[in-house]
Amino acid sequence: MNRKYSLFLIFIASLLGCAKPEPTGTAITNVTVIDAVNGVRENQTVVFDGDQITGVDAANTEAQFAETIDGSGKFLIPGLWDAHVHLTYDDRFTDVMPALFLSYGITSVRDTGGLMHKMLPVVKKMRADGAVAPRVFFAGPLLDGNFVVYDGISRPEIGVRNAMPADARQTIRDMKEQGVDFIKIYEMVRPDTFEAMVETARGLGLPIDSHVPLSMRAGTAGPPVDSIEHLRNIELDCAGNAPELHETRLELLKNPDELSGYELRSSLHSLQRLPAIANYDEERCDEVLESLTSTLQVPTLRLGALNLDPPFLKEDWQDALSRIPPEVREEWLNEAADMADNPVEEFTSFGEWAVFLVERMHAHGVPIGAGTDTPIFIAVPGFSLHSELEYLVRAGLSPLEAIRSATVRPAEFFSLEEQMGTIDVGKKADLVLLDANPLENISNTRRIAAVVTKGNYYDVESLLTLAKESQ
Ligand SMILES: [Zn+2]
């Protein structure tokens, strides 16, 4: 019932001299509330009405609610975000992703790259009245440079070309008109195009997500943007010979061998990434990290450090696979078997470096966000976010800080921290009810009993059924 109507009823009831207002809202009683700002509050009653939290109080048995859920022995955390997803990367996943995310407690997603004509219908469907789907925030296509990595030839087409600064300005203005929530700058842009992108997005009030372009250095490209993905190319600026590496890249980016965008990028990564890590210079790297304290880092460790804690060795991997479309299952089982049989040594070295760098970043006060790149590289939507939280704890975050990375941090990226990210009166009603304490063991975020999304309560079984039906 909407608020106006219920107020009207109360008014009529009082005119008739009948005292009792009709009970409203849903209450979760006797629950332990945990969020990254308020810490731990025991024995609480959390009430939500429509899409809003209307009460967080020490358990109160007097009040009457339309519905009451016993939260005894359970733990309530804010709805989780996956801050790096691709809803349109693999068409086999697009329809099933919303329900899958919710079944794993993810109530908001940030889509970091997809072509507009594919993204717009998906976003419209997810935002439709009554849609059972996470809140969605989207960037539109990867804004690439003269060469495009994801050009639809060797890789799926999720990038667009911006050869000159003027192209970039026009592209971003068009995207804003079509409703993007932020922009994503990619790896092959030139410094002048990068600058035009930043300036245009700022002028339009769009938050900026980015990789460090290969033509630039992290200490220069990091500070003007709001988030950086995958720690991408930061290692190049942490090397003792960072200026020389940069010079070499600028030469090679002229692309004398006429490689495709994808090949050109790969060749530069292969040439410089591991040598840069081997040449790590702590003092230089500390300077870089100091410059990044206002730029959210979404390290996607479950991708970059996959070899250190592979999903296929986890207890609930088979369960996760059972939730994805059957036609993908076989393919991923084979990929997983191949990864298990032939672990690539360079990939393990990079993973160790990535965990180390996040540890250093965290120590320097660089904000960390939780994202996964799902479904890329056998990442089951939703499942992979819980793996990411485990990685973040492995990299030195406390379980509560890991929860911050998947709640408060992404909300801050969109300047929505007043509306989302904690369990407070006036915040959006996105909640996850857990059977075990996530602060004792971050893996307990997997122990989901129920999820509240946009003010609607679902036990986990009904979300699993929904995910099965959308396969
Ligand atoms: Zn991505």
**How far does the centroid of ligand 1 lie from the alpha carbon of residue 194, in Å?**
19
**How far does the centroid of ligand 1 lie from the alpha carbon of residue 300, in Å?**
9
- Which residues, in sequence order, are CB contacts of 372 under 8 Å at separation 6+? 82, 84, 85, 300, 302, 303, 379, 384, 385, 387, 388
**How far does the centroid of ligand 1 lie from the alpha carbon of residue 86, in Å?**
6
- Does residue 440 carry a pLDDT above 70? yes
- Does residue 1 carry a pLDDT above 50? no
**How far does the centroid of ligand 1 lie from the alpha carbon of residue 229, in Å?**
8
**How far does the centroid of ligand 1 lie from the alpha carbon of residue 253, in Å?**
22
- Does residue 8 carry a pLDDT above 70? no
Arithmetic mean of pLDDT over the chain: 95
**How far does the centroid of ligand 1 lie from the alpha carbon of residue 372, in Å?**
8
Which residue has better confidence, 98 or 470? 98
**How far does the centroid of ligand 1 lie from the alpha carbon of residue 394, in Å?**
22
pLDDT tens column, 112-161: 999 999 999 999 999 999 999 999 999 999 999 999 999 998 888 999 99
pLDDT tier for residue 19 given thresholds of 50, 70 and 90: low
Residue 136 is given by DSSP the state: E
Q: What is the pTM of this model?
A: 0.94
With a pLDDT cut of 90, the percent of the chain lying above it is: 92
- Under DSSP, is residue 339 helix (H, G, I), strand (E, B) or coil? helix
Beta bridge partners of 40: 34
Residue 65 is given by DSSP the state: -
pLDDT, position 2:
52
Average confidence (pLDDT) over 294-311: 97
**How far does the centroid of ligand 1 lie from the alpha carbon of residue 467, in Å?**
23
Dist CA 190 CA 180 (whole Å): 23
pLDDT, position 23:
86
pLDDT tens column, 342-381: 999 999 999 999 999 999 999 999 999 999 999 999 999 9
**How far does the centroid of ligand 1 lie from the alpha carbon of residue 15, in Å?**
59
pLDDT tier for residue 228 given thresholds of 50, 70 and 90: very high
**How far does the centroid of ligand 1 lie from the alpha carbon of residue 117, in Å?**
18
pLDDT tier for residue 471 given thresholds of 50, 70 and 90: confident
pLDDT, position 71:
97
The token duo for 343 is: 């672990």
pLDDT tens column, 92-113: 999 999 999 999 999 999 999 9
